[in-house]
Chain A
Amino acid sequence: MKSFLQLIEIEFFKIRHHKLSRFLFSAYFVLLSSIALIAAVKLKIGKLEIHLAEQGIFNFPYIWHFNTWIADFLTFFLVIIVVSMVTNEYNYRTLKQNLIDGLTKKEFVLSKFYFLVVLALLATIFVFVISLILGLIYSDFTSSGIIFKDLYFLPAFFLKLLGIFTLIMFLGFLFKKSAIALGFFFIWTIIEGIIYALLRWQLFDEKTASTLSRFFPYTAMKNLLPQPITRLSAAKNIGKQIGEKIGEFDGIPILSFLIVVIWIGIFVIISYKLLKKRDL
């Protein structure tokens, strides 16, 4: 059995020379850095000048929530890398060749999964560094207690990325074609919405439907990073309003993390089972 490092090295070697992946990877980090540009945005509405950076979005600890949520919009770039690194192996028939050269099916799936872990980790570290810098520049509060409060958004971001990646990897193994895998992914997200609607309007009440839908893979991943906008406007006006409770955020329940971890495990295992069962 090859080691973690050997498997990563093999996968990294394959990706490194792949132009599209290299482009998407660079684009992802360039665009991610451009979150900083938001700071420069000054809107002029009549005589009113709004400087976004001054609106509290870069305030610790809120920035952890805001930046991970914004960064998540760029996940699609990485998703393309992930789907193509699986389906290419079928298109080029290199999967077969890898196995003939002495890679086991288990090692093959693990080399992909390990790479996804590293990819998600890199993105998370990058978001952490950017947010830390922006926060230190623009945040109104920079005491260490406040800076590192709500840092759990980073593991949430990491798990959401890894969850989406492993789901896409599984779909890649299942369909062998990028377009079908991605298409199915979008349909899947819609299907989860439909099932939720059915549960809510036809079978149960809203509460039960919400509880059940938390266990759906995509919904579970989405729940890891709820949108921060309503929290922003409230956070800004803290103390000015009677309903200041709106701005409070309950945090992300441990259960949400757990559900996603389990789904990641399931997707990796069925990817392997699928590969094992198939003749190439």
Chain B
Amino acid sequence: MQNILKVTDLTKKFGRLIAVNHLSFSIQKGRVYGLLGPNGSGKSTTLGMILNVVNKTAGQFQWFDGQLSTAQALKRIGAIIERPNFYPYMTARQNLQLVCKIKEISGDTITEKLQLVGLSDRQHDKFKTYSLGMKQRLAIASALLNNPEMLILDEPTNGLDPKGIHQIREIIKKIAAQGTTIILASHLLDEVEKVCDNVIILQKGRKIFEGSVKDMHLQNNWFEIKAGDMRRLQNLLNESPLVSQTENLGNIIKIYPAHNDVTGSDLNKYLSDRKCYVESLIKKQPRLEEEFLKITT
């Protein structure tokens, strides 16, 4: 598998503050990565370094297995950073034309990308007249102009209203479906959960977790069961070898299975064999949010 980006021991100090601390990871082609961490954990600084706008203190990073200089590599990727930055006095189309000149590509893709993000109607309006949601969508169009091999998105939904958030996520999904490699930096768990398959979690500049989103869901599934006779239900469950622990929450019983392979139907069969019929049985997974809080606190 080709490494699009390889980061080794990357470190950034701002005076005495260590913003990024010996960070290493690699980005492989075709995957969607989440770079996750609370505000101030070093996400933007990390991206700033690989994008050539923040000087690294130590360590290395390599684009495309070291075949390209950073500036050359940047012409083959697309990136948007915290805020959409364009010339306010130019129209959307003019701004994109300028980006094409910088990336040394023809302007043929402008119309198509404006369409993709739904800005065709407003393309001749000045950037300063745009709402934040439109600005962010223009930023995505701009990042896509060169049909990039990789897209870097730093907090793309920050500050947007629910509609704007939804629009951006739909666009990201569309792009991911085309096989574009993506790094999505975010402090929002469900954003990463919805879009990414791999995740890197940062805390105070250090990497504290790296793996697939599935791995993050860990073992701690639980079930919530309801039956007519709650007391009998709980007694039966307590006796079962399938169950490690029960907890009566009043109108439902929460149980933690003995091992991860216990399924809902196992429990259902066990109970029905004992003439206890459940009203509802729900398998629950901890949300990434909760896992995240567990890991970072």
Q: A residues near B, CB below 8 A?
A: 2, 6, 9-10, 13-14, 17-19, 88, 92-94, 96-104, 276-277, 279-280
Contact = CB atoms under 8 A, between A and B. Distances in A.
Interface in B24-79: 48, 51-55, 71-72, 74-75, 79
A125 to B, nearest CB: 26
Interface of B: 14, 48, 51-55, 71-72, 74-75, 79, 81, 83, 85-90, 94, 97-99, 101-104, 142
Given A102-B72, A279-B48, A13 B86 contact: no
B74 A6 contact: no
Nearest to B84: A97
Contacts, number: 74
Contacts of A99: 51-53, 74
B199 to A, nearest CB: 23
Contact of B71 (A18, A92, A103, A279): A103
Contacts of B79: 100
A97 B71 contact: no
11 contacts: A6-B101, A14-B87, A18-B89, A94-B86, A96-B53, A96-B81, A101-B142, A102-B71, A276-B55, A279-B53, A280-B54
A10 B98 CA distance: 7
A97 to B, nearest CB: 4
Given A100-B79, A279-B55, A14 B48 contact: no
A13 B101 contact: yes
A104 B70 CA distance: 9
A100 B86 contact: no
Contacts of B81: 96-97, 100
Nearest to B152: A100
Contact of A14 (B54, B72, B74, B98): B98
A102 B89 contact: no
Contacts of B142: 101
A92 B98 CA distance: 15
A280 B87 contact: no
B51 A93 contact: no
B42 to A, nearest CB: 13
A92 B86 contact: yes
Contacts of B88: 92
A102 B87 contact: no
A115 to B, nearest CB: 14
B83 A10 contact: no
A17 B14 CA distance: 37
Contacts of A19: 89
A256 to B, nearest CB: 38
A277 B53 contact: no
A100 B75 contact: no
B86 A17 contact: no
Contacts of A2: 104
B74 A101 contact: yes
B102 A94 contact: no
Contacts of B72: 102
A33 B204 CA distance: 62
Contact of B86 (A97, A104, A276, A277): A97
A97 B79 CA distance: 9
